[in-house]
């Protein structure tokens, strides 16, 4: 199992090119199931999760051709309407094949994802929404069996805001008969990117970017070309890294109009940012100031940035309070950061962080994707050497993070 060795205390300086967004690429690749035409995608990130979804899609009979960050899909010969447990258990986003398969073929068998490191993460809202569209759904032997003659438009209000739930229902509704209204829809930029692709494929969607999506079903969708948006979470992760270590970096291939409150919090920390048309220059000198926040849905503070900001707070010039409201178990990085000398105490879903003068390197273990990124940041800010174990989590969602960071001066190597 690969590990990362990080020697802390290096200033970051130089340019980093941001990759395509994982959480936009995964649903967009699944949209290939909705048409017999060619879907030509660019800016697809090189990630383990993308490999997993492509493997799953190929098993259905979807033709996949890949040339680095370009992927072309063709869904004219799909024969297997199934997502097996072996793949779903490694990646929950596999549930995103359910809506498209059911809408286009009237049938799907998808393994029920189990709980995961950050929470129980049920998919009841996906199922509730598909039932409202007329699907007959049974759950047996750990699988969701879904069937319908033709999905029929409906008004659906999910009990909570769910990102992949919105995406699954949106994809299903594009091929349903009549009008579907999705209320309480997620507004994340990744949902918007999927909606824009679906429109390019011939879908009729109004309210894109709002919490009320109105979809007029069409008989079929056609092929399209689309560039996946760049990854705001990857970009913000590197901004946290420079906030923690000090330095001057230029992020390229990013956007400036789709960030959430995380950017304001970075300014509060003391990071100076200059926005270009598709770039952000970030400069940091001195010790970070502490920032308190609670995670909420977009455009609130993203849960996917909670751990990385906590890493910055560990060495800030004061105390901060972080409340996690999206997932019930997303504080597993706390114990690992405390091993590096941080002073964090949790109380229910709130973490109280007291900034310390210095962290000191130690062996630590990555527990999930964003926790891994937070440990890389903490290790880069710490004195001495940190070994981070179980970095396969990191490879699921960051495109060669250690390569990008060492190119800007970090002392970080992968140990095979």
Report the catalytic residues: 116
Q: Is 402 in the site for ligand EPU (CB under 6 A)?
A: no
**Contact with ligand EPU (CB under 6 A) among 51, 109, 121, 281:** 121
Please, which of residues 75-94 interact with ligand EPU by CB under 6 A? 92-93
With beta carbons less than 8 A apart as the criterion, state whether 191 and 163 touch: yes
- Please write down the HEC assignment for all residues of 275-319: ECCCEEEEEECCCCCCCCEEECCCCCECHHHHHHHHHHHCCCCCE
* Residue 303 in the binding site for ligand EPU (CB under 6 A): yes
Q: How far is the CB of 109 from ligand EPU (least distance, A)?
A: 18
User: 93 vs 172, which CB is nearer to ligand EPU?
Assistant: 93
* Burial of 253 (C-beta count, 10 Å sphere; 0-12/13-18/19+): middle
**Closest CB to ligand EPU among 48 and 289?**
48
The site for ligand EPU, by CB under 6 A, has a size of 24
**92 vs 414, which CB is nearer to ligand EPU?**
92
User: Is residue 398 involved in binding ligand EPU (CB under 6 A)?
Assistant: no
- CB 168, CB 98: distance < 8 Å: yes
What is the rounded CA–CA span in Å between residue 261 and residue 239? 13
Contact by Cβ (8 Å): 12, 410 = yes
Q: Could you tell me which residues come within 8 angstroms of residue 122 by beta carbon, excluding any fewer than 6 positions away?
A: none
Q: Which among 197, 143, 157 is positioned nearest to 174, based on CA atoms?
A: 197
Question: Going residue by residue from 207 to 236, which x/- string records binding to ligand EPU, judged by CB under 6 A?
Answer: ------------------------------
Among residues 229 and 250, whose Cβ is nearest to ligand EPU? 229
Separation between Cα atoms, residue 35 and residue 53, nearest integer Å: 17
Give the helix ranges, DSSP H, for 177-332: 189-200, 232-245, 262-269, 306-313
Q: Are strands 70-74 and 38-42 parallel, antiparallel or unpaired?
A: antiparallel
Scan residues 241-300 and list those touching ligand EPU (CB under 6 A): none
DSSP of 145-158 = EEE-SS-B--EEE-
Please tell me what DSSP assigns to residue 258.
S
Q: What whole-number distance in Å separates Cα of residue 72 and Cα of residue 49?
A: 17
9, 61, 84, 119: which one binds ligand EPU (CB under 6 A): 119
Query: Per-residue string for binding with ligand EPU, 20-59, x by CB under 6 A?
Result: --xx--x---------------------------------
- Tell me which residues in 143-172 interact with ligand EPU (CB under 6 A): 160, 162-165
Q: Does 124 bind ligand EPU (CB under 6 A)?
A: yes
Residue 353 CB, nearest approach to ligand EPU (Å)? 21
CA 356-274-292 angle, 5° bins = 35
Q: Work out which of 10, 104, 126, 339 binds ligand EPU, going by CB under 6 A.
A: 126
Q: Interface with ligand EPU includes 123 (CB under 6 A)? A: yes
Residue number, 259 or 327, with CB nearest to ligand EPU: 327
- Is the bond preceding 299 in cis, omega lying within 30 degrees of 0? yes
Between 45 and 247, CB nearer to ligand EPU: 45
Q: Considering the complex, state which of residue 284 and residue 394 has its C-beta at the smaller distance from ligand EPU.
A: 394
Q: Which residues bind ligand EPU (CB under 6 A)?
A: 22-23, 26, 92-93, 119, 121-126, 160, 162-165, 303-304, 326-327, 369-370, 397
């Amino acid at each position: 199992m690969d590990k990362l060795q990080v020697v802390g205390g290096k200033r970051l300086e130089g340019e980093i090119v941001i990759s395509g967004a994982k959480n936009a690429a995964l649903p967009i690749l699944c949209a290939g199931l909705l048409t017999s035409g060619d879907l030509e995608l660019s800016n697809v990130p090189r990630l383990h999760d993308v490999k997993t979804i492509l493997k799953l899609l190929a098993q259905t009979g979807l033709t996949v051709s890949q040339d680095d960050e370009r992927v072309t899909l063709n869904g004219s010969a799909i024969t297997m309407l199934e997502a097996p447990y072996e793949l779903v258990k490694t990646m929950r986003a596999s549930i995103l094949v359910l809506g498209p398969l059911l809408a286009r073929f009237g049938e799907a068998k998808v393994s029920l994802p189990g709980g995961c490191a950050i929470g129980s993460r049920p998919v009841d809202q996906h199922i509730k929404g598909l039932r409202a569209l007329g699907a007959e759904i049974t759950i047996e032997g750990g699988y969701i069996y879904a069937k319908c003659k033709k999905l029929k438009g409906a008004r659906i209000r999910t009990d909570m805001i769910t990102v992949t739930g919105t995406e699954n229902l949106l994809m299903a509704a594009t091929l349903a008969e009549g009008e579907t209204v999705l209320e309480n829809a997620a507004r994340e930029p990744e949902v918007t990117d999927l909606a824009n692709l679906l429109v390019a494929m011939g879908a009729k969607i109004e309210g894109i970017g709002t919490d009320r999506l109105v979809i007029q079903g069409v008989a079929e969708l056609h092929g399209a070309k689309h560039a996946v948006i760049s990854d705001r979470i990857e970009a913000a992760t590197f901004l946290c890294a420079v906030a923690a270590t000090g330095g001057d970096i230029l992020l390229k291939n990013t956007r400036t109009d789709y960030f959430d409150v995380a950017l304001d919090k970075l300014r509060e920390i003391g990071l100076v940012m200059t926005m270009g048309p598709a770039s952000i220059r970030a400069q940091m000198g001195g010790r970070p100031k502490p920032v308190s926040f609670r995670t909420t849905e977009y455009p609130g503070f993203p849960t996917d940035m909670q751990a990385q900001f906590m890493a910055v707070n560990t060495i800030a010039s004061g105390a901060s309070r972080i409340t996690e409201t999206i997932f019930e178990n997303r504080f597993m990085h706390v114990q690992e950061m405390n091993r590096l000398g941080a002073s964090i105490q949790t109380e229910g879903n709130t973490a109280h962080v007291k900034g310390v003068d210095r962290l000191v390197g130690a062996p630590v273990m990555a527990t999930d994707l964003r926790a891994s990124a937070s440990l890389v940041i903490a290790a880069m800010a710490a004195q001495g050497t940190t070994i981070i174990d179980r970095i396969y989590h990191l490879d699921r969602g960051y495109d060669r993070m250690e390569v990008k960071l060492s190119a800007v001066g970090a002392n970080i190597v992968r140990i095979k």
